[in-house]
Structure 1
Amino acid sequence: MKAMILAAGYGKRMRPLTDHTPKPLLQAGGKALIEYHIEKLRDAGIESLVINSGWLGDRLADALGDGSRYGIAIAWSHEGTPLETAGGIRHALPLLGDQPFVLVNGDIWTDFDFAPLLAPRRDPVHLVLVNNPEHHREGDFHLTEGGRLRDNGDPRLTYAGIGRFDPALFADLPEGEAKLAPLLRAAMAEDAVSGEHHTGQWWDVGTPERLAELDRLLTRC
């Protein structure tokens, strides 16, 4: 199975740290954020990675290369202007192929075990959810006791930026900018989305303060 790491954002909330460094290359615990994903996906059994790039994408590609030093092949989907999540996936479909793939946001850190996502599933979408962080208390979706995701209902949890997707979900999108949320809600309306609740470590590294806090945590470990 392949995986895609989303790494094309501008990282505006992280400025000035991202003025000259792409956000996924910012370090915590002595390692770039994206390197944690690469290593965990490789160890889970992912065969190859697709990484999309936008802002300072040449620096990202220069730093990570073809993945040989990590023991996993990396292919690059260069966007120029970021296309949002769904648009970026649509643009990368020729690299992803026609089989389900794992998707990970490049600006999170987690101890989530990716290996179970590689197991066969009947649903075209499976999302990982986490407890609502302080900066997103309202959450995103409701997870039923049966493991189904709904756009309505309480309590609500937050989408972790981790999931497994069938590429057919994106095949009919026109090339260009497109958000993921409308596709997810449409799939939920068809009862085509399953989910799970990860209660371990998960960090949305969206500000310099959160990055510094994560760095302190990982340095102590």
Structure 2
Amino acid sequence: MKQWKSIAVSRDTQLEAAISVLETGGQRIVLVVDDDERLQGTLTDGDVRRALLRHKSLTTPVEQVMCASPQVAQLDWSRERILSLMESSRLLHLPVLDSSGRVVGLETLHELLDKKRIDNPVFLMAGGFGKRLYPLTQDCPKPMLKVGDKPILELILQSLADAGFHHFYISTHYLPEMIRDHFGDGSKWKVSIQYVHEDAPLGTGGALGLLPPGEIQLPMILMNGDLLTRIDYRSLLEFHQRHQGAATLCVREYESQIPYGVIQSEGHRITHIVEKPIQRFFISAGIYVLSPDLIGRVAPGQHIDMPTLLEQEILAGREVNMFPVHEYWLDIGRMDDFHRAQDEVRS
């Protein structure tokens, strides 16, 4: 069983602090306990994302968003009984309690089954010019700019390989030889890499039409080649498979404050004045899960951007879902983002 005290919080812990424990604990779950170590509830990625979708504040006490009645195992249960409950209830974690309701450990389905490889393919988009980072990109593709001592694209690939992915495609256009020379066939990272070259830019979704016909049989992760993130890819895939949509779009919450008092009115009569209101939106995080059927609908050579492609799916009546990202995420699109990445990789 896993040690659990490093992933325990109290009921009045703020959501922001609980998310930090969730990310650093590495178990994809937080246990909410009282002063006697009795289990009060659990907090998972799903609970956090549902709270974010409801625009819950990060100062919200964790007891308001936790699962207050989680399933548990008893200390004397056998491995087979625990595994049977986890599989029948589709659980990834199971707190283990003693006869007094105190937490004594944590079982995880991943450890019980020891399934480490993920066969879903990953498509990394690395063909852009990176014009906003000029002159750094004058002689170097943006994904090959170094953050610390490694190219951005290598940091992305390594994080995915560490998560268990082994089947990669990389799209290229601008200075493709630099990418091919660095990554080769992927054997250095114990993965396989195939390259998809765009002779002319095809937009953020057009390279999908250049994938080998019929080769994509499982939902595929598509990711921009200029992102640094600690997203839980397994949770993302599980979410997509559970909801069975044509696509899942990862989103981030973005806040924008209007620097003036906003007037609400009826005709010439003012009904309300809101001083410097904050508006919240969900924005694309540049990470997607795409069904094989969707990929097959992109014609070879078709120029299309991802927003347009997803809009077409929605208009056709196919389901496109969103997956809120609360983990670390940085889009290296501008020079200040690049400098920020250098600072954060050293911290």
TM-score normalised over the length of structure 1:
0.83
Tell me whether 1:129 sits opposite 2:255 in the alignment.
Answer: no
| Count of residue pairs brought into register by the alignment | 201
Which residue, 292, 305, 314 being the options, matches 1:188? 314
Alignment-mate amino acid for residue 127 of structure 2:
A
Alignment-mate amino acid for residue 286 of structure 2:
G
Which residue, 282, 285, 289 being the options, matches 1:157? 282
CA, structure 1 residues 102+213, in 2 after alignment: closer, same or farther (shift >3 Å)?
Answer: same
Q: What is the CA–CA distance in structure 1 between the aligned matches of 2:141 and 2:215, rounded to whole Å?
A: 23
Kept in 2: contact 1:45–1:115 (CA 8 A): no
Tell me whether 1:40 sits opposite 2:159 in the alignment.
Answer: yes
Give the alignment's Cα RMSD to 1 decimal: 2.0
Counting aligned pairs with the same residue, the percent is 28
Q: What is the CA–CA distance in structure 2 between the aligned matches of 1:112 and 1:127, rounded to whole Å?
A: 13
State the Cα deviation string for residues 99-122 of structure 1 (Å, max 9, x = none). Answer: 210111101111112122333341
Which structure's CA Rg is the greater one?
2
Q: What is the CA–CA distance in structure 1 between the aligned matches of 2:254 and 2:246, rounded to whole Å?
A: 25
1:208 alignment partner in structure 2: 335
Tell me whether 1:31 sits opposite 2:31 in the alignment.
Answer: no
State the Cα deviation string for residues 154-180 of structure 1 (Å, max 9, x = none). Answer: 953111011110132132333322112
CA, structure 1 residues 46+95, in 2 after alignment: closer, same or farther (shift >3 Å)?
Answer: farther
Alignment-mate amino acid for residue 129 of structure 1:
V
1:103 alignment partner in structure 2: 222
Q: What is the CA–CA distance in structure 1 between the aligned matches of 2:314 and 2:246, rounded to whole Å?
A: 11
Deviation for aligned residue 1:188: 3.1
State the Cα deviation string for residues 32-85 of structure 1 (Å, max 9, x = none). Answer: 111121112112222300000000011111111111111111110011222112
Which residue, 170, 174, 199 being the options, matches 2:326? 199
User: Mean Cα displacement is larger for which, 78-87 or 170-179?
Assistant: 170-179
- SS of residue matched to 2:298: coil
Q: Which has the higher contact order (CA 8 A, sep 6+)?
A: 1
Q: What is the CA–CA distance in structure 2 between the aligned matches of 1:211 and 1:4, rounded to whole Å?
A: 23
Q: What is the CA–CA distance in structure 2 between the aligned matches of 1:160 and 1:133, rounded to whole Å?
A: 14
Runs of 4+ in 1 over 4 A off after TM superposition: none
Gapped regions of structure 2 (runs ≥ 5): 1-119, 257-278
Kept in 1: contact 2:203–2:304 (CA 8 A): yes
Gapped regions of structure 1 (runs ≥ 5): 135-153
Q: What is the CA–CA distance in structure 1 between the aligned matches of 2:134 and 2:214, rounded to whole Å?
A: 31
Deviation for aligned residue 1:216: 0.8
- SS of residue matched to 1:81: coil
